[in-house]
Amino acid sequence: MSNTRPSQDHDPVTDKYARIAARYDTRWSYYVEATTRETLARISMQPTDRVLDVGCGTGALLDQLARACPQAQLAGIDPVPEMLGVARRRLASSIDLREAWAERLPWDDAFFDIVVSNSVFHYLRQPVVALREMTRVLRPGGHLIITDWCGDYLTCRICDWYLRLFSRAYFKVYRKNECLSVLKEAGHSKASVERYRISWLWGLMTAKVTNYAV
């Protein structure tokens, strides 16, 4: 697979999050807590599952997964060394954290039982490529869970418009039907998407996919 990202030295995503990594959890505490809680509530884990968090950031979701299933084999990737630095200070050394992009995951085929991604989808410039890569490392019968902003909510659409104009790191927000369409293009015609609010102002959606590959 060719490298689908620009040089990390000049990538707007890594530039942005390198600057805010140290204060990210404090600055976005309500949002981090809410999205982590809602994503965790939609994951069905077995005690010894292998779980990958794509775009793990500062490790908030991995921390909660470790608390819920201490024997699970957890891993996370993020392209921003500064965010991973925060995650490494928070998490046990047994959790496998690697610097990588969603479009190029450094694991073998069918390695994980669950692949999860939280608040990453709106940064992906080639979402189908990333989804296929997430599916590649997921075992047959395994589960893919993706939580992100939902463009069916007015505030999310306003934020989408603003960020498209003023943030080079940002790509786009998807509506529920758009998300289903992207998942279908990636080979997941039986995906389900649930949309919901985490406050009167902000709405999310969580997509759930079972990998039917054999």
Domains of the chain: 8-210 (3.40.50.150)
Res. 6: pLDDT tops 80: no
Alpha carbon of 213 to those of 51, 112, 163, 203: distances in Å?
A: 18, 13, 36, 31
d(CA 134, CA 136): 5
Given this model, what pLDDT does residue 213 score? 66
Given this model, what pLDDT does residue 9 score? 53
Residue range 31-41: mean pLDDT, rounded: 96
Given this model, what pLDDT does residue 2 score? 37
Angle at 123 between CA 136 and CA 3, to 5 degrees: 50
CA-wise closest residue to 114 among 88, 135, 85 = 135
Residue range 98-106: mean pLDDT, rounded: 97
The predicted-structure confidence for 49-64, as pLDDT tens digits, reads as follows 999 999 999 999 999 9
Kindly report whether the global pTM for this prediction surpasses the value 0.85: yes
The predicted-structure confidence for 135-172, as pLDDT tens digits, reads as follows 999 999 999 999 999 999 999 999 999 999 999 999 99
- Residue 142 carries which side chain, given as an amino acid letter? G
Given this model, what pLDDT does residue 7 score? 44
| Residue 212: band (very low, low, confident or very high) from pLDDT cuts 50, 70, 90 | confident
CA-wise closest residue to 204 among 214, 212, 213, 194 = 194
Encoding tokens for residue 158? 């306003």
Residue range 197-202: mean pLDDT, rounded: 95
d(CA 196, CA 182): 19
The predicted-structure confidence for 107-139, as pLDDT tens digits, reads as follows 999 999 999 999 999 999 999 999 999 999 999
